[in-house]
Amino acid sequence: MDDTLDDITEHLTEKAEWNADFRSSRTGWSFQDLKNEFEFIRDVEVKQLLSEILDGKITKNREHPDHPWRGRHGH
């Protein structure tokens, strides 16, 4: 997963350097904005999720009250 996130941030860095003034007409986000979000996901969220898995805070049992996806998508 880290390699995929690294590849995405590298690609977005190239896009941001290629066209620093681009902003999506739909979202208003630039390539730099997207790169920052993916870096945050890579550096913080993935590590936090892995930590919770290793600490046993995340279980395969979707019925468990502490399961992070409990209540999502009709579960």
pLDDT in tens, 19-32: 999 999 999 999 99
Note down the domain range covering 52: 2-74
Helix 2-18 / helix 31-40 crossing angle, nearest 10 deg: 160
Angle at 67 between CA 64 and CA 70, to 5 degrees: 90
- Please state the domain count of the chain: 1
At residue 5, does pLDDT exceed 90? no
Contact 16, 30 (CB under 8 A): yes
> How many other CB atoms are found less than 10 A from the CB of residue 38?
20
pLDDT in tens, 17-69: 999 999 999 999 999 999 999 898 888 777 777 777 777 766 666 565 555 55
Q: What residues contact residue 16 under an 8 Å CB cut-off, 6+ apart?
A: 30, 31, 32, 35
pTM for the model stands at: 0.59
